Amino acid sequence: MSEFAQVGDFCPNEICSDYGELQSDQQHNIIKFGKTKAGRQRYMCKTCKATFTETKGTLFYRRRTPEEEIIDTLAHIAEGNRISSLARTTGHKEDTIIDWIREAGNHAEAIEEALLAEYQLTRGQIDGLWAYVGNKGEKKLSGDG
């Protein structure tokens, strides 16, 4: 089973009492909440009233490592840092980091958006990231159904 969850499936607000709770018949704190100017779906958690968009909270659902740290590591790799040296500085195993890239490739579109927005990476650098796992970042329009 994938550790990814779709946006809108759970509240990404860490201080929320329903944080990370997947939506179900009993659990339905997440509602659609209009769209952003860019046309992205926006959601709101009824529990904590936080709003978030499609690009927030999509990545690495319930990984032990904070999403920001994973994204930061991916950005370093895209910038040309070696996985072996990042493994040393972050304290994670190389296999773990490669696993992150592989999982990131499953949601390439959201990851690329986060990297481009937060790290000013180039498209070529991000393509280099996917090259590590032989995944060109196939864009999937829907989940695995």
Q: Is 7 in the site for Zn ion (CB under 5 A)?
A: no
CA 26 to chain centre: 26
Is the Cβ of residue 16 or residue 98 nearer to Zn ion in the bound state?
16
Q: Is 30 in the site for Zn ion (CB under 5 A)?
A: no
Is the Cβ of residue 66 or residue 138 nearer to Zn ion in the bound state?
66
Q: What's phi and psi for 104, nearest 5 deg?
A: -60, -35
Of 48, 87, 98, 116, the residue at the interface with Zn ion (CB under 5 A) is 48
* Piece of the chain touching Zn ion by CB under 5 A; list 46-54, 74-82, 104-112, 122-130: 46-54
Which amino acid makes up residue 50?
A
Polymer length in residues for the chain: 145
H/E stretch holding 66: none
Is the Cβ of residue 48 or residue 87 nearer to Zn ion in the bound state?
48
Residue 49: count other Cβ atoms within 10 Å of its Cβ.
9
Q: Is 133 in the site for Zn ion (CB under 5 A)?
A: no
